[in-house]
Amino acid sequence: MFTPKYPPTDTAPDGPTPVATTSANLPATTTPTPVAPVPVSNRPTIQLTPGSTLALVGGGTAVVLIVGTVLVSMLLAVAITGVSVAICAVVLRSLLNDSRKGR
């Protein structure tokens, strides 16, 4: 159950190994080999119009404002909780001190 299951090994046949050419095998005058053209991607290109740019900026601004509001409210909640715990600690301390003194 806990033993790893490995995928089967690649069964593709080995291709011919490239033969290393040395400078001694090359003729004195070599012509440069032509370079293949770069293949063109079939993916569509995204073109931003002024309206879509404005929409992206507006959406990004809205996301930043919402996330900022949530983070600030969480920080405020933590701060309020800390202050209330501190006030409770002071009140309990004064009650315990009064009870020890017999007042």
pLDDT tens for each residue of 58-90: 999 999 999 999 999 999 999 999 999 999 999
What does the pLDDT look like over 16-31, one tens digit per residue? 666 666 655 555 566 7
Average pLDDT over residues 87-101: 91
- Does residue 90 sit within a domain? yes
- Does residue 51 sit within a domain? no
3-state secondary structure (DSSP) of residue 40: coil
- Does residue 65 sit within a domain? no
pLDDT of residue 103: 61
Asked whether the whole model's pTM tops 0.75, one would answer no
| Structural domain containing residue 95 | 73-103
- Does residue 79 sit within a domain? yes
Average pLDDT over residues 5-13: 75
- Does residue 41 sit within a domain? no
- Does residue 96 sit within a domain? yes
How far is residue 88's CA from residue 5's CA, in Å, rounded to a whole number?
58
Number of domains in the chain: 1
- Does residue 62 sit within a domain? no
- Does residue 89 sit within a domain? yes
pLDDT of residue 42: 77
